[in-house]
Amino acid sequence: MSTVLIVAQVFAFFAFILYTLSFQFKKRGNVLKTQIFANIFYTLEYIMLDAYAGVNNSLFGITRSILFYVFDKQKKKCPPYVAVIFLSLVVIFGFVSYTDVFSILPVIISIIFFVALYTEDMKLYRKVAVVASILWIIYNIAVQAYVSVFDYTIELISSLVAIYRFDIKKEREKKKDKDKFEKLK
């Protein structure tokens, strides 16, 4: 294994730690801040692997997270025209960096993550994270980002845990409380 490949895997490991951690935050602002740094490390990894579709996706991930974080801090929703511009750029850069069928996957991932964050629905976001993790696993196998294959497998599990913690478990607790209340009537 070459030095470049080893260093790329180290960057992937740091990205993995941060990205996996991000799914365990309940507040969107904390998720976004953590993902900015994770995407910086993913960008470095994909640069070292000459995987430019991954580089583009990671750069868009940084931009997307900063964009939503700034609008959240201002207590404003991202305007639709900004969403259209952003998604148009994702598609354009996807065409520019196209090398094979696998290079389409990061474009799809960027689009679905943007839409999920745009809706401000963290429940949807966690579900999208499951789909995106599966697509990343496929892409990373194709570009020899071996640590990232492991990373996204763990992120898939982390997303599923977050869905259980914040969505399924909470619904069960609400239902249980509602049932108790009904019995008291």
pLDDT digits (tens, 9 = 90+) for 103-133: 999 999 989 988 887 887 888 988 998 999 9
pLDDT digits (tens, 9 = 90+) for 7-50: 999 999 999 889 878 877 878 889 899 999 999 999 999 999 99
Most distant pair of Cα atoms in the chain: their distance: 70
Listed in sequence order, the residues at least 6 apart from 162 whose beta carbon sits closer than 8 Å to its beta carbon are: 23, 24, 126, 129
Phi, psi of 177 (to 5 degrees): -65, -40
pLDDT digits (tens, 9 = 90+) for 53-91: 889 989 998 998 999 899 989 988 889 998 899 899 999
Q: What is the mean pLDDT of the chain?
A: 88
The reported pLDDT for the residue numbered 131 is 95
Global confidence as pTM: 0.75
